[in-house]
């Protein structure tokens, strides 16, 4: 199944505050939100409202009701599944049917469990990996993981595996375990082939690789496709 993703014209987005730092914004949420909104507005979109919740919240009834006072085409929720699953459930229960868009914080079976499968229609999120994106390394990893743990690996298992493999590759190319030599080798990485895909390291020491856009319907992944990000 292939999905063409259309940029909505009007967006409402949530971000997370954390109690730990006296209501300073959680870096994960705001980092994603800043990058997303910048790109979204550059494509002509309008953010019609911004709402906030606190990390650890479990009751989103009043927040979801407040959303009904806005007109929008989609909701962006850059948060972790522990809150976003319950938030999506609350949104659907008050009648919000607009697409919900999130990030890799949605990439957990717990997100669906908290939201309820029936509330996860038209839910989309960007992530690093999905087992349906087949390549030889991924296929072997999935088979080995399922044999050992009795279930399919999630995004974070795949990322952890790639992180260790990437480090080992850097040590081998450096011919040393000395920190500076390994750091230099890692920084010079080009076309490292991992379980989650092939990537190179840029000048900011970030991996450059496609994102994976996932679509949920009734708690099941119905589409996962790689999207190249400029």
> Residue 23: pLDDT band by 50, 70, 90 thresholds?
very low
Concatenated DSSP letters for the chain? --------SEEEEEEEE-GGGTSPBPHHHHHHHHHHHHHHHHTT-EEEEEEEEETT----HHHHHHHTTS--SEEEE-S-HHHHHHHHHHHHHTT--S-EEE-GGG-SHHHHHHH-GGG-TTEEEEES--TTS--HHHHHHHHHHHHHHSS---HHHHHHHHHHHHHHHHHHHHTS--HHHHHHHHHT--SEEETTEEEEE-TTS-EE--EEEEEEETTEEEEEEEE---
**57-73 per-position pLDDT tens digit:** 899 998 888 888 888 88
Average pLDDT over residues 39-62: 85
**192-214 per-position pLDDT tens digit:** 999 999 999 999 999 999 889 99
pTM, whole model, 2 decimals? 0.81
Place of tokens 């699953």: 85
**68-88 per-position pLDDT tens digit:** 888 888 888 888 899 999 999
């Amino acid at each position: 199944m292939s999905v063409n993703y259309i940029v909505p014209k009007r967006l409402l987005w949530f971000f997370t505050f954390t109690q730990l730092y006296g209501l300073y914004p959680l870096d994960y949420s705001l980092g994603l939100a800043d990058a997303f909104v910048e790109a979204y507005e550059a494509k002509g979109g309008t953010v019609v409202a911004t709402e906030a919740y606190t990390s650890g919240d479990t009751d989103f009834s009043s927040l979801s009701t407040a959303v009904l006072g806005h007109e929008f085409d989609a909701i962006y929720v850059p948060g972790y599944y522990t809150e976003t699953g319950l938030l999506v459930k609350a949104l659907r229960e008050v009648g919000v049917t607009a697409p919900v868009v999130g990030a890799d914080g949605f990439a957990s079976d717990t997100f669906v469990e908290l939201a309820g499968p029936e509330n996860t229609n038209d839910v989309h999120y960007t992530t690093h990996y999905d087992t349906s994106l087949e390549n030889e390394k991924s296929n072997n990893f999935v088979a080995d993981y399922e044999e050992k743990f009795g279930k399919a690996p999630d995004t974070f298992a795949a990322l952890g595996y790639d992180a260790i493999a990437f480090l080992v590759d850097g040590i081998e190319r450096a011919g040393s375990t000395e920190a500076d030599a390994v750091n230099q080798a890692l920084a010079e990485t080009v076309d490292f082939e991992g379980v989650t895909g092939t990537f190179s390291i840029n000048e900011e020491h970030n991996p450059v690789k496609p994102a994976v856009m996932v679509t949920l319907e009734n708690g099941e992944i119905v589409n996962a496709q790689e999207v190249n990000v400029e």
